[in-house]
Structure 1
Amino acid sequence: MTRVNLKRLFLTVALSLEAATAAADYQLNIPVGPTETSRMIYDFHMYAIWVCLGIGVVVFGVMFYSIVNHRKSKHPVPAAFHENTKLEIVWTVIPVLILVGLAVPATKALVRIEDTSDAEMTIKVTGYQWKWHYEYPEEGIQFFSSLDEASNRARQLGSDLAPEKVDNYLLNVDNPLVVPINKKIRFLITAADVIHAWWVPAFGWKKDAIPGYVNAAWVKIEKPGVYRGQCAELCGRDHGYMPIVVKAVTEDEYKAWVAEWKQNHAASEVLE
């Protein structure tokens, strides 16, 4: 491989990593998306952090107190007792209460996140090497979603299109998934070849797409917008080139999109 090609390869890898991290805006905490599930996960995450912080303050406080007040220069006198039943009960009960205090809200959140009942619409997601297939059973709509042409062209060695010139490099698709806001949407996620994983960080969850098995998840998006994700399971040599783009629109815009899609495909079938 020539020096020019090596330089090009290094630049492509570097920009790919930059594109993957840019979506998070280098934030230190997990994102809070426009969904109930993402807020539940964020709230429990912060609750657990404060619990851990409290434990750390107590443990390190006792440790530093012991270091300072029982140092050699103070000539400490060792305690004469060998056991203390009350103390042992206390340091056994307290961790149990902490674990219960963490387990109860975690279980409630998990049960809520996994509850796909009362969904208002269903979308089937199938992973392929290296693209996604979306199907709206109620609407009779289905299509493939692949890496957009500009990103695919820019990622090639020797391409005349520089990756930094492409908007949302490696995070854009030719056919985004269009969904309405303020509707509980059930996703049925599977794969046709190898294991993939459908992951949109703003939704607060990811699900494995496994051949021969269907995983279910749900989301209710509260704000219009474009939400990007990626396959989160190493699925082959082009694993990094199967992004996810979800376009959340109002109910009227969604109905207009459905009507336009059906009209366009009906026209194309007549031409064929």
Structure 2
Amino acid sequence: MFRSANRLYGAIIAAGTCLVSTQAWAEAQPWGTYLQPADTQVAEDIHTFGALTFWIVGIITLFVLGLLVYVVVRFNAKANPVPSKTSHNTMIEVVWTIAPIMILLIIAVPSFRLLYEELVIPDAKMTIKVTANKWYWNYEYPEQGDISFDSYMLKDEERTDPVKQPRLLAVDSPLVLPVGEVIRIQVTATDVIHSFAMQPFGVKIDAIPGRLNESWFKIENAGTFYGQCSELCGQNHAFMPIEIRAVTADQFAKWTEAAKTDLNAAKALLAQFDDENAKAPTTVAAN
């Protein structure tokens, strides 16, 4: 029920913004009131769980508000000049003990299911190692010929296209990944604690010096996705974005071949991939 409602909500948003490019879905929007649209099954399940808890909390809030209004009107000094001397009510005590237990059980079942889905990594097709530094990211592709590069945020004077290079989000070397494959991500840091957070994928994992944390995701649509460091890590914490380019399997193979010998040539291929993917029919995840 709640997953269907969440899909309907996403469909309404998608229909209302059908003239917006696919890339616009990959970043936070001004005056946005909801999470960024999901592009993985895990992220969609997070949205569904959020919708479930929202309705539970909303119903409880309205119920408590109704009780407060009733008590104020029914038991004020004018309407009830002789106060009741009732000290307890067994039925009420039983209800307000059992009801919270039932509500917590309703929340706990999908919560544990979601935790299992996030923490248990299925058979991964590839592994990416992410190393956080003050204040940039290093990406390694150990299974694609030991490709490795650093990723820095573009400064204002380095941005050539304000639309395709959003301020404080675009980087000089994005992380390029294929769609439709289970990707294991291993995260660590060299200095202080950082956090690799990519909301459209439902991933937020701490980068801790001396420790290797793991997570996973499976991207559903080609496009550009933006995230950020989500752990206060010092002076330039706000200038440590994450940019992921999701491409098709064939495009990823071309990119890795070029990146093995010339990273600049591989970056030049991304513009070509953007044009190819823009001409192909696309769908918005979380519909």
Equivalent-residue separation in structure 2 for 1:198 and 1:249 (angstroms): 20
Does residue 146 (structure 1) correspond to residue 152 (structure 2)? The answer is: yes
Find the residue that maps to 2:29 and give its secondary structure: coil
**How far does residue 38 in structure 1 lie from its aligned partner after superposition?**
1.3
Find the residue that maps to 1:100 and give its secondary structure: helix
| Equivalent position of 1:88 in the other structure | 93
Task: Summarize the alignment of residues 1-272 of structure 1 with structure 2, pairs less than 5 Å apart.
Answer: 23-140=28-145, 141-148=147-154, 151=155, 153=157, 167-264=165-262
**How far does residue 37 in structure 1 lie from its aligned partner after superposition?**
1.6
Shift of the 109–166 alpha-carbon distance from structure 1 to 2, 3 Å rule, reads closer
Q: Quick one: which amino acid aligns to residue 96 of structure 1?
A: I
With structure 1 as the length reference, what TM-score do the two structures score? 0.80
**How far does residue 31 in structure 1 lie from its aligned partner after superposition?**
2.2
Answer whether contact 2:179 2:219 (CA < 8 A) is retained: yes
Shift of the 63–236 alpha-carbon distance from structure 1 to 2, 3 Å rule, reads closer
Q: Quick one: which amino acid aligns to residue 126 of structure 1?
A: T
Equivalent-residue separation in structure 2 for 1:172 and 1:139 (angstroms): 24
Answer whether contact 1:31 1:42 (CA < 8 A) is retained: no
Per-residue CA distance 1:129-160 (angstroms, 9 max, x = gap)? 22111111111221111123xx1647xxxxxx
Q: Which has the larger radius of gyration?
A: 1
Shift of the 115–25 alpha-carbon distance from structure 1 to 2, 3 Å rule, reads farther
Find the residue that maps to 2:109 and give its secondary structure: helix
Shift of the 74–190 alpha-carbon distance from structure 1 to 2, 3 Å rule, reads same
Equivalent-residue separation in structure 2 for 1:251 and 1:217 (angstroms): 21
Equivalent-residue separation in structure 2 for 1:236 and 1:74 (angstroms): 60
Equivalent-residue separation in structure 2 for 1:83 and 1:228 (angstroms): 56
Find the residue that maps to 2:227 and give its secondary structure: strand
Q: Quick one: which amino acid aligns to residue 146 of structure 1?
A: Y
Equivalent-residue separation in structure 2 for 1:166 and 1:216 (angstroms): 30
Equivalent-residue separation in structure 2 for 1:166 and 1:251 (angstroms): 22
**How far does residue 96 in structure 1 lie from its aligned partner after superposition?**
0.9
Per-residue CA distance 1:186-225 (angstroms, 9 max, x = gap)? 1000011221111122122311111000111111110111
Percent identity reads 39
Q: Structure 2 stretches of 5 or more lacking a match?
A: 1-26, 266-287
Equivalent-residue separation in structure 1 for 2:44 and 2:215 (angstroms): 16
Shift of the 53–171 alpha-carbon distance from structure 1 to 2, 3 Å rule, reads same
**How far does residue 176 in structure 1 lie from its aligned partner after superposition?**
0.6
Answer whether contact 1:197 1:207 (CA < 8 A) is retained: yes
Equivalent-residue separation in structure 2 for 1:170 and 1:117 (angstroms): 33
Q: Structure 1 stretches of 5 or more lacking a match?
A: 1-21, 155-160, 268-272
Shift of the 252–166 alpha-carbon distance from structure 1 to 2, 3 Å rule, reads closer
Answer whether contact 1:126 1:134 (CA < 8 A) is retained: yes
With structure 2 as the length reference, what TM-score do the two structures score? 0.76
Backbone CA RMSD of aligned residues: 2.4
Equivalent-residue separation in structure 2 for 1:92 and 1:66 (angstroms): 21
Find the residue that maps to 2:55 and give its secondary structure: helix
Q: Quick one: which amino acid aligns to residue 149 of structure 2?
A: F
Answer whether contact 2:203 2:217 (CA < 8 A) is retained: no
